[in-house]
Amino acid sequence: MHVDIKHIQELIKEKDLKVTPQRIGVLEAIYTLRNHPTAEQIIDFIHDKYPSIAIGTVYKTLDTFVKYGVINKV
């Protein structure tokens, strides 16, 4: 599935969050993997494209997205 990065950037901006490569990578993974991916699946996806992103950063980004209503925790 092709993910529109500009759309992802707009979603982040709409929530008054700073657009960062880490946040783009996490949302890109969520949109690409679909069907409620686990944090581990998101990390595996991100490390293929963004190998320097730390695991803790992914968890922190997910928590931020839940807090600001970008995603829902299941």
> For residue range 2-61, what is the model confidence (pLDDT) as tens digits?
678 899 999 999 999 999 999 999 999 999 998 899 999 999 999 988 899 999 999 999
pLDDT in tens, 59-74: 999 999 999 999 998 8
- Helix, strand, coil % over all residues of the chain, rounded to 5: 65, 0, 35
Go through the domains of the chain in sequence order and give each one's CATH number. Answer: 5-67 (1.10.10.10)
Structure tokens at 9: 């950037």
Q: Which amino acid is at 46?
A: I
Return all residues near 64 (Cβ < 8 A) that are at least 6 apart.
17, 23, 70
